[in-house]
Structure 1
Amino acid sequence: MATLVNLPTDLLRTFITVVELGGHSKAGVALGRSQPAISLQIGRLEELVKAQLLTQEGRTIQPTPAGEALLSYAREMVRTNDEAVSYFHRTDRSGVLRIGLPTDYAVAFLQNTLTSFLRENPAVDLEIHCDLSRELHKMLRAEELDVIIATMNSPRMPYLSRAWVEQPIWAGADDFVPDPTRPLPLGAHLEGCDYRSRMIDALDASGRRWRVVYTGPGISGLQNAVQNGLCVTALTKATLLPGMRELTEEEGFPKLEQLRIGLFYKHPRLTPAGLHLVSELVASLESVGSGVVKVMHT
């Protein structure tokens, strides 16, 4: 029988910190260790996995392909370790936790998770910021947010914990009947919205005329415009309300490109409360039926 190799969480934590903070010196400051000690830990981890994990491009430290593969496992292993320690040591969960969500997620299934988290952790103050995904990514990088859920423009992105795929659908009022002789009336979020670009790309590719008749940043206003028959739009099934129906390809609505969504956070910067919330979000994602999301362990 092959000998199993145990990967110590302290080595994995050092590896995550070097990657997320961009260097051995910054990781040493965050972890309270010297730069040579950080280098020794990375070397020991490379010996255990028998692969080079980091490469230097100029002054920038980047994970190698093997490092990218290990990073996904390392983040989950360290998060689970810290969550277990927090549970048994009853680590204080308090303070402010800043969450970034796309507008539709603020009112969809994750809202229940956040509400439950607040009931269980009354000493935590949640600040929820809704915006376009590109802005949420910027705010996470700038450490203006602690945890975000946002669309992904590539399969591998920094600070990614979980990824999943959603299939947007066309939505209109229950009594909406498309008129092929007139441009399709669209409702959309502001420029830069992934749903907006998918609608336009699909309609242009199919040669269907369209015009935007409603634009707004909030999901509720868009849902109201659709319910009242002002426009059609692209939504997820989780945000399809009574009075609305899914519009089909048979009615002339081309299939929309799927969305890749991710849960992101900077592990070295996250508090015990933040780690607990991430665990709750992961559990929420994995309990959702495959009709809404397909979860991928990155």
Structure 2
Amino acid sequence: MKALDVESVQAFVLVADLASFTRAAEAMESTQSAVSLKIKRLEDGLGRRLFERTPRRVRLTAAGQLFLDRARMLIAAHGNALDAFASERRRLVVGISDHAVGAELPLLLQRVKRAEPSLLLEMHVGSSRDLLESFDAGALDAVVVIGHDGGRRGGEVLLSEAFGWMAARDFAHRPGDPLPLAAHSQSCAMRGMGIAALDAAKIPWTEVFVGGGVGTIAAAVSAGLAIAVLGRRVAPPGSVDVGPELGLPALPSRDLVLYASLADPAARQSLRTIAAAIRSTAA
């Protein structure tokens, strides 16, 4: 058997973690065809098929599952060898909007950790407005925020976030009563977007749960206490968009935008991995 090509093994691990040849190519700053070729050469060298490929999904074969842990060990050992003379671990400080992550945050962090085992990632979760202020002040290397500042340029759009009036599946609203809302503080742009839409439609509302992050708002939604303006991608499991049923106004989509101020190639590579992992949550 020929010696394994490390880049091909890295491509295999990224495809497995991101469940996508396209996302793996983004993380490697390559093309989907180039990644496919690396995987093909790796499969030929191993004499095993590693992935089942369909137009809608990528799934590991039994051989791929068996090889994955060993492939991770090889990539980690390769990274440790390259870091032998490094004076310190690479550190990346990233801010991410709490409206951009939900129940999939552990999976997102796991994917980044697996793809970049030597990276020391410091992540700050908060409101887009606060994170942008910290980024502009130089406290953050990069931010992933909901785009609502029309005057800001230079960001990379990661995906388009669709918002809805999210509620528990068994949520019941009595006609004539004000719509019960769960929302952030008054500075939250998503709160403002929802309230402006209700006011324009002359729909009465009342806030029954205020403050905290998206996680606590999601808890109020899951408990059936209220409706919340949330991205459908990050809404709590089991919740539904009750907007059409209750005749609520449609909510606009918002771009999820990455802003970065990084010159170091290794740091930018790590950021590409993070961006690809975020995109993979929309699959």
Distance 1:282 1:220 in 2: 21
Equivalent positions of 1:6-155 (< 5 A) are 80=29, 94-109=89-104, 111-154=106-149
Q: What is the aligned partner in structure 2 of residue 13 from structure 1?
A: none
**Residues 153 and 120 of structure 1: CA distance in aligned 2, closer, same or farther (over 3 Å):** closer
Q: What is the aligned partner in structure 2 of residue 217 from structure 1?
A: 212
In structure 2, the gaps of 5 or more residues are 1-27, 31-77
Q: Compute the RMSD of aligned alpha carbons.
A: 3.0
Conserved? CA contact 1:159–1:266, under 8 Å: no
Matching residue within 276, 285, 289 for 2:269: 276
Equivalent positions of 1:168-183 (< 5 A) are 168-183=163-178
Conserved? CA contact 1:162–1:264, under 8 Å: no
> Deviation of residue 153 (structure 1)?
2.7
> Deviation of residue 232 (structure 1)?
0.7
**Residues 102 and 289 of structure 1: CA distance in aligned 2, closer, same or farther (over 3 Å):** closer
Q: Percent identity, please.
A: 26
Q: SS of the residue aligned with 2:175?
A: coil
> Deviation of residue 150 (structure 1)?
0.6
**Residues 237 and 153 of structure 1: CA distance in aligned 2, closer, same or farther (over 3 Å):** closer
Conserved? CA contact 2:233–2:282, under 8 Å: no
Q: What is the aligned partner in structure 2 of residue 253 from structure 1?
A: 248
Q: Deviations over 1:234-289 (max 9, x none)?
A: 11122233342221324222111221220110133x562x3122211333355455
Distance 1:286 1:211 in 2: 34
Conserved? CA contact 2:94–2:121, under 8 Å: yes
Q: Deviations over 1:165-200 (max 9, x none)?
A: 211011112111222211111000122212211110
TM-score for both structures, normalised by structure 1 = 0.60
Distance 1:111 1:157 in 2: 30
Distance 2:225 2:108 in 1: 32
Aligned residues: 206
Q: What is the aligned partner in structure 2 of residue 203 from structure 1?
A: 198
TM-score for both structures, normalised by structure 2 = 0.63
Comparing 201-210 with 103-112, greater Cα deviation is found at 103-112
Conserved? CA contact 1:148–1:264, under 8 Å: yes
> Deviation of residue 145 (structure 1)?
0.7
Read off the aligned partner of 1:282 and give its amino acid letter. Answer: A
Q: SS of the residue aligned with 1:105?
A: coil
Q: SS of the residue aligned with 2:233?
A: helix
Read off the aligned partner of 1:279 and give its amino acid letter. Answer: R
Distance 1:255 1:227 in 2: 22
Read off the aligned partner of 1:284 and give its amino acid letter. Answer: A
In structure 1, the gaps of 5 or more residues are 1-78, 82-86, 291-298
